[in-house]
């Protein structure tokens, strides 16, 4: 393998691809797939739909962001889900890193709108996977049930094209607008994220102990 890719196939602080549970999960989900791209695709869907999206479950510590923690919890916000996908890829010898962007996201709840005072989500996370000599973006954040509830087109991944969110939902309403790409990293730039969230929102712990599934049900009841 190209020496420049070395750091993207080995464990790092939050991308604990050498953790036994992460390795076992990756092997189970890739199954008998031989093609590298097919392995990455299977891992994408395993994380997208196997881990529920929960934007209230924000823990900006190394332990709280670790792939093994997300796998155990079964739910996470976009950044830990991207970390888990990167860890699974690295566990299978597929180079992967973390990408971040600021987005205008129209999927929210009344609690989030009241707390954030904005529809801009800073440091939205995705995974960049090295396939066939190209870095491809894969965003495993919104599980299929959430997409169906909010009438969002599920984000598919084919291993060739960037999987980033659609600008409109199934009803033609605005969904996601990418405002700024912040770059791609070997691991999470935790200090930078904390500084940005505290500056923009005033806190990083608005929704601890709140029930996102309950709020999402209320949001879409009509």
Averaged over successive runs of 10 residues, the pLDDT of the chain (222 residues) comes to 88 98 98 96 98 92 97 96 98 98 85 84 96 96 92 93 83 84 97 92 67 86 75
- Total domains in the fold of the chain: 1
* Pairwise CA distance, residues 12 & 79, whole Å: 15
The pLDDT value recorded for residue 216 is 85
The pLDDT value recorded for residue 222 is 66
Dihedral over Cα of 12, 18, 19, 25: its sign: positive
Query: b/e string for 42-66 if b means 16 or more Cβ within 10 A?
Result: bbbbbbbbbbbbbbbbbbbeeebbb
The pLDDT value recorded for residue 208 is 58
Q: Residue 150 sits in which domain range?
A: 3-219
CATH number of the domain at 162, please.
Answer: 3.10.620.30
């Amino acid at each position: 393998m190209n020496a420049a890719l070395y750091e993207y196939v080995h464990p790092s602080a939050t991308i604990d691809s050498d953790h036994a549970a992460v390795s076992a999960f990756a092997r189970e989900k890739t199954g008998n797939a031989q093609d590298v791209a097919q392995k990455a695709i299977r891992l994408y869907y395993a994380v997208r739909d196997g881990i529920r999206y929960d934007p209230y479950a924000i823990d900006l510590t190394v332990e709280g962001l670790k792939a093994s923690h997300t796998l155990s919890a079964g739910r996470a916000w976009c950044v830990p889900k991207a970390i888990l996908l990167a860890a699974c890829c690295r566990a299978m010898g597929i180079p992967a890193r973390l990408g971040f962007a600021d987005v205008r996201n129209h999927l929210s709840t009344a609690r989030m709108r009241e707390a954030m005072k904005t529809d801009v989500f800073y440091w939205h996370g995705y995974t960049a996977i090295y396939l066939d000599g190209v870095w491809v973006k894969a965003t495993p954040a919104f599980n299929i049930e959430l997409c169906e509830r909010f009438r969002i087109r599920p984000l598919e991944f084919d291993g060739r094209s960037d999987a980033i969110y659609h600008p409109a939902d199934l009803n033609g309403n605005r969904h996601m607008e990418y405002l700024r790409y912040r770059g791609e990293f070997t691991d999470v730039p935790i200090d930078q994220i904390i500084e940005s969230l505290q500056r923009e929102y005033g806190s990083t712990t608005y929704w601890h102990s709140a029930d996102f599934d309950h709020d999402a049900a209320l949001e879409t009841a009509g």
